Amino acid sequence: MSKILPEVRGTWRQYTAALTINLATIATGISAGWTSPMIPRLQATDTPVGDKPMSLDQISWLSSVTCIAPLFVLPLCNILSERFGRKILGCLMAIPMGLCWLLTLLATNFTFLLIARILEGMGNGMIIFLVPIYIAEIASDDVRGKLGSFLGVAANFGLLLGFILGAIMSYQMFAISGMIVPIVFLAGFIFMPETPIYLLRKGRKEAATRSLMWLRNDDKVTVDSELRRIEKMLEEEAMSTSKTVGFKDLFRSRGTIWGFVIALALLPGQQTSGITVIFTYAATIFELAETSLDPNSAAIVLAIMQVFGSIVSTATIERAGRRFLLLFSCGGMAICHILLGLFFLFQFLEYNLSTINWLPIVTLSSYTILYCLGLGPVAFVVSSEVLSSDISGLANSIAMSIVWIICFVIIKGFPFARDLIGAHGCAFILAFFCTCTLLFTYFVIPETKGKSIESIVKELNVSSKKSKTIDYELSRKP
């Protein structure tokens, strides 16, 4: 016990800041979970919005517009976070989240709901942009991965909460409950510190010192050492880039290019692994598999698996390492897609599969755990670790723009792809993409566990051959 307590005392304020900003992520999860239980009600004759059931086309837009909306706000996120700070942008996130629920509550027709979903998508974009950056800049090296993985836990917990609230609450009560979380988030986050890295970059050393003193539990020796390290890092950044960071700065050095490439591979890789299409069309997939599980129960089961996988990831990310979790996750997801594809293929060939109709449930549950154990949370952590602080916002906003475009294409295109190549063909394609991410991780991504961001960037700057030699020599040291 005596070995654990000092660590807890030294990092509990970092945990507090990470948990507080992830209240916004919980709000996002609840909004995402709203769709599954509410769509059947919106299509019913006694619909809570308007005087007639919504069409399939209207429902498809309510589901997919949240993937396009972030594209309008992401460029603004980078500008606001660099000009006014991470904390100001964090407080602004509460606005679209709160307005989303207010419009949902007051909606009288499809247009109101569509605007509400657009606001939700804008809030999602702001949250997924800011949370990894904020946590990477406030966390010490020994807990950065664990705190970064809170994003996945919070999003999945919010999703599960949304499924449960949708199952037990009326349309109006769900909207009122959803509005509470952004308010609680804003009330708490307003007391959290600005990141010390941002403050130092703006020349506000005294404010950066106060921020670090709070985050490091008033440990002056640690704070002085970290201030010197950050100042040195910023000096090196200033020598290699212009005052205003632009697109060309993404290619200013080998390390920056590789960091950008890693972000472009891992973040879109989340969507090409199939997570969004599986949750959006979970009921359809279970119906195709002819299982006895009803849609609401299926959604709740998968959401529980997500929360479980995220918690396991949080507990193991600083022990197992980023690379291992990514490799294990991508390999396992590829196998799950192959098994599901084979099930649908044999079903298409009219084999009797009644004795193994449990396979899709087990496969999708396993897939969900594996995603949340590795690729889901770790992609956000690594993409923030492999880029220097001045370029991280721009690089990740570009990567996330691509993510949202892929998300929209997959959600809108899945029904057409299913009709064209069958459910088995879709599953095999997703397995192929998981395998590609696996190979990219194995050959390109370095282990970042326990390393400072500047040391990771420096490692990416060396040649591939030299990097492997360094890793081998370090592994031989006692």
Locate the domains of the chain by residue range: 12-192, 245-467
Q: What is the pLDDT of residue 296?
A: 66
What's the rounded mean pLDDT across residues 27-40? Answer: 84
Q: Which pLDDT value is given to residue 470?
A: 41
> Per mean pLDDT, which range of 217-231, 320-334, 377-391, 449-463 is the poorest?
449-463
- Comparing 344 with 460, the larger pLDDT belongs to 344
* pLDDT tops 60 at residue 74: yes
Beta carbons of 406 and 272 less than 8 angstroms apart: yes
Whether the domain at 12-192 and the domain at 245-467 fall into the same CATH topology:
yes
The predicted structure's pLDDT at residue 471: 46
333 within 8 A of 370, measured Cβ to Cβ: yes
* 232/236: higher pLDDT: 232
CATH pick for 245-467 out of 1.20.1250.20, 2.70.98.10, 2.40.160.20, 1.10.10.60: 1.20.1250.20
Average pLDDT, the chain: 83
Q: Does residue 293 carry a pLDDT above 80?
A: no
Lowest mean pLDDT among 116-120, 149-153, 187-191: 149-153
pLDDT-wise least confident of 149-158, 271-280, 291-300, 320-329: 291-300
Percent of the chain whose pLDDT exceeds 90: 29
Nearest in space to 128 (alpha carbons), one of 151, 105, 104, 162: 151
Return the pLDDT at 42. Answer: 87
Query: Looking at 53-62, 156-165, 269-278, which range is the least confident one?
Result: 53-62
53-57, 131-135, 335-339, 368-372: the lowest-pLDDT one: 53-57
Residue 163 confidence (pLDDT) above 90: no
* Per-residue pLDDT at 91: 94
* CB 139 within 8 Å of CB 86: no
Q: In the predicted model, is pLDDT for residue 412 greater than 80?
A: no
* Position with higher pLDDT, 307 vs 192: 192
**pTM value > 0.85:** no
> Buried b / exposed e across 424-459, counting CB within 10 Å, b at 16+?
bbbbbbbbebbbbbbebbeeebbebbebbbbebbbb
CATH superfamily of domain region 12-192: MFS general substrate transporter like domains (1.20.1250.20)
pLDDT (mean) for 451-465: 71
Percent of the chain with pLDDT over 70: 90
Is the pLDDT score of 285 beyond 80? no
pLDDT of residue 473: 45
Give mean pLDDT, residues 409-432. 87
pLDDT (tens digit, 9 = 90+) per residue, 168-180? Answer: 888 999 999 999 9
- Would you say residue 373 has pLDDT above 60? yes
